[in-house]
Amino acid sequence: MSEFNTLVLYCRAGFEKECAAEISTRLSVMGIYGYPRFETGQAYVIFHCQQPGGATDAIQRLRFRDLIFTRQWFAALPLFEQLPADDRITPILASAGSLPVASELVAEVVDTTEGRELQSFARKFGSALSQALRRESILLERKRRADWRLHMLVLDGRTLWLGAAPIGNSSPWSMGILRLKFPQQAPSRSTLKLEEAWRYFIPAQRQDELLGGGLRAVDLGAAPGGWTWQLVKQNMFVIAVDNGPMSPDLMESGQVEHRREDAFTFVPPKPVDWMVCDIVDKPARVTELVLHWAENGWCRHAIFNLKLPMKQRFAETESCLGYLRDSLANAGIGFRLQARQLYHDREEITCWLSLEP
Ligand SMILES: C[S@@+](CC[C@H](N)C(=O)[O-])C[C@H]1O[C@@H](n2cnc3c(N)ncnc32)[C@H](O)[C@@H]1O
């Protein structure tokens, strides 16, 4: 793969500033410098690296899973602008020689109302471009595997970004979005956050071991029960802590004990496998609560949401997660911590703390 200077990063619309601050911070630690460009609400960020090949270097060395606010990324050729409407493919092929050999081309749009209107055009054009790239041997024949996937981000009928991402260091989902069907029996739409968190954080080969078979869980801030519903669906026994009412249907499962208590002072009768927490409160307070559970050995895993304030959202995330990491390390507690702004998250991020050795 040749020396690319530009990274294209997708994010939730409105979180461009956080996405830009995060990529700039992470890359500068690695000695890769540059500047981000974005407009608020456009749902993507462009990061221009100063060094030649900075983007190629970044996308291979920085772990995608260490980024919270980036849904998907790729290292890009310079922007294609003013493509002729009667033949867009020829000018693209003229500079496509520097792309790595790849197994597929994903045609994408930005996740905004305007962007989604281009979806059908992007799909059709993506299929025509794929055929042309296959003839040039840049795309392999179907079913042959390569280490790279090509991405095309269509901004309008004449403007697009084209580039590549390593399959092992990017999101497997188109536009970085895991689409889930809302289960009609679930008591709230929040249920999708926990389902997405498990699907994103827990590798497929560990799902049975970490979720299956009669485990025990505590759900802090559980009402009306969307997260508890997911825990029950995994056959877990759940203590649901909330002053608010739980869904009566869920209570009929016989697997849920409802405690009308304050989650910040609640003490579990015995340690559990999972603690989950979706309380709307200051992120620092929720972080302290999670730390308290970890220090007391009350759970093996925790999934928790940090609701972000309107301003300084990246700084707040860094401060809370940095504090949690430092406190656990100082206490000699082994852990793994991952965080991500999930597709089903709004003004919040979701974190997975694993306390297993
Ligand atoms: C976003 S809702 C949780 C939704 C839930 N995860 C679901 O899927 O249905 C937040 C809940 O936290 C509860 N809550 C807020 N502060 C609490 C506290 N100190 N102790 C217990 N519950 C609390 C609220 O009553 C509310 O039901």
Residue 221 near ligand 1, beta carbon < 6 Å: yes
- Residue 229 backbone dihedrals phi, psi, to 5 degrees: -60, -40
Contact 152, 126 (CB under 8 A): yes
* CA nearest ligand 1 atom 10, residue: 279
- Residue 307 backbone dihedrals phi, psi, to 5 degrees: -80, 125
Give the helix, strand, coil percentages of the chain, each rounded to 5.
Answer: 35, 25, 40
Alpha carbon separation from 166 to 57, 100, 171, 204, 315 (Å, rounded)? 11, 10, 9, 20, 29
Fold of the 6-176 domain: Alpha-Beta Plaits (3.30.70)
Contact 164, 148 (CB under 8 A): yes
The answer on whether 278 is annotated among ligand-binding residues is yes
Contacts of 259 by beta carbon, 8 Å cutoff, 6+ apart: 239, 240, 241, 266
**Per-position DSSP letters for 42-66, written without gaps between them:** SSEEEEEESSTTHHHHHHHHS-GGG
Residue 279 near ligand 1, beta carbon < 6 Å: yes
pLDDT digits (tens, 9 = 90+) for 191-248: 999 999 999 999 999 999 999 878 999 999 999 999 999 999 999 999 999 999 999 9
Do the domains at 6-176 and 191-354 have one common CATH topology?
no
d(CA 116, CA 174) in angstroms, rounded, equals 13
The answer on whether 156 is annotated among ligand-binding residues is no
Atom of ligand 1 nearest to the CA of 193: 8
Is 270 part of the annotated catalytic residue set? Answer: no
> Is it the case that residue 150 has pLDDT exceeding 90?
yes
d(CA 79, CA 96) in angstroms, rounded, equals 12
Contacts of 182 by beta carbon, 8 Å cutoff, 6+ apart: 189, 191, 192
pLDDT digits (tens, 9 = 90+) for 90-104: 999 999 999 999 999
- Pocket test of ligand 1: the residue of 198, 275, 278 to mutate, having most ligand atoms within 8 Å of its CB, is 278
d(CA 55, CA 53) in angstroms, rounded, equals 6
CATH number of 191-354: 3.40.50.150
- Average the pLDDT over 41-70 and give the result: 97
Q: How confident is the model at residue 1 (pLDDT cuts 50, 70, 90)?
A: low
pLDDT digits (tens, 9 = 90+) for 111-142: 999 999 999 999 999 999 999 999 999 999 87
> Is it the case that residue 273 has pLDDT exceeding 80?
yes
Domain extent listing, the chain: 6-176, 191-354
CB atoms within 10 A of CB 58: 23
3-state secondary structure of 29: helix
The answer on whether 225 is annotated among ligand-binding residues is yes
> Is it the case that residue 143 has pLDDT exceeding 80?
no
